[in-house]
Amino acid sequence: MTRFALTIEFDGSPFMGLQRQAHGPSVQQSVEEAAAAITGEDVRMHAAGRTDTGVHALAMRAHIDVAKDIEAFRLMEGLNARLRPDPIAITDCRAVAGDWHARFSCIGRAYVYRIVNRRAPLTLDRGKAWQVAKPLDHAAMHEAAQHLVGQHDFTTFRSVHCQAQSPEKSLDRLDVERAGDEIRIHAEARSFLHHQVRSMVGCLALVGMGRWTPGDVRSALEARDRKALGLNAPPDGLYFVKAVYPDE
């Protein structure tokens, strides 16, 4: 049995999320079915994180175990051929130690959230970014974001459906930058709560619109109450961009 580490890029628009769902298509289901077609085995995929409906990934990490004698490159080529026309690509595949685990060996995860700040309709970025027509003050958003960096109880920014045992997380980075009409929010932590990034982005957008102050974000955090959340950003602009492992 060989364990293969996969790097996966996908457009989340047509999927119910990364994790296999009973009520619709998922990235996991597509990859597992492709692997089964190649190997003739009941293959299960384990990923570094989960994503909601409509959330994308540039470099999600995952692993599968395969008994068939097959080279990593041939497996990757076969998976990509079988995955068509689904918007999923295996961009890297390599054999790893049997105790390497995409989820449990991961020591850091990074996301980026894209906002297109303009009045004109989206064309190329439709479904790939959140369009906000009202001008946003990205400097105020960045100032507000720094109130969330560090170890906190993030109950306010946690979905009611979150299955994490504790609402406490340590947020290592939350930076806001602008390039022309695009605002990007970079978030990094060991792990995140369900909807945490989208909830933080929604409140930062309220600051950018002038409806909240940076201090209001701190107050929402300190409330430790989901009812204090101002806005949950849509999934369109969220991308999983990196998983960090101690041996890489």
Number of folded domains in the chain? 2
Residue 160 confidence (pLDDT) above 90: no
The single-letter DSSP state of residue 201 is H
- Predicted confidence at residue 164, as pLDDT, reads 85
Domain boundary among the residues 54, 74, 96 is at 96
Sign of the dihedral defined by the CA atoms of residues 28, 92, 14, 40, in that order: negative
Establish if 29 belongs to a structural domain.
yes
Mean pLDDT of the chain: 96
My answer on whether 19 and 76 are in the same domain is yes
| pLDDT value at residue 166 | 93
Q: What is the pLDDT of residues 66-112, one digit of tens each?
A: 999 999 999 999 999 999 999 999 999 999 999 999 999 999 999 99
- Region 124-145: mean pLDDT is 97
**Segments forming the whole domain that contains residue 69:** 2-96
Where residue 115 falls among pLDDT bands split at 50, 70, 90? very high
pLDDT at 92: 98
Residue 57 burial (CB < 10 Å; 0-12/13-18/19+)?
A: buried
pLDDT digits (tens, 9 = 90+) for 162-195: 888 899 999 999 999 999 999 999 999 999 999 9
Three-state SS annotation for 64-105: EEECCCCCHHHHHHHHHHHHCCCCEEEEEEEEECCCCCCCCC
Quick check: is 102 in a domain?
no
User: Is this model's pTM higher than 0.85 or not?
Assistant: yes
- The active-site residue, picked from 11, 42, 52, 153, is 52
pLDDT(248) > 90: no
116 with 90, same domain: the answer is: no
Q: Which of 48, 73, 96 is the last residue of a domain?
A: 96
Residue after which a domain boundary falls, among 41, 69, 96: 96
Residue carrying the six token digits 């969220």: 238
236 is catalytic: no
Average pLDDT over residues 6-33: 94
Crossing angle for the helix pair 214-223 and 138-145, nearest 10 degrees? 30
Percent of the chain at pLDDT exceeding 70: 100
Beta strand segments in the chain, E: 2-10, 46-47, 56-66, 88-96, 108-116, 130-131, 150-153, 168-179, 182-189, 238-244
123 with 58, same domain: the answer is: no
Specify whether 124 is located in the same domain as 44. no
Residue 101 lies in a domain: no
**pLDDT tens digits for range 62-78:** 999 999 999 999 999 99
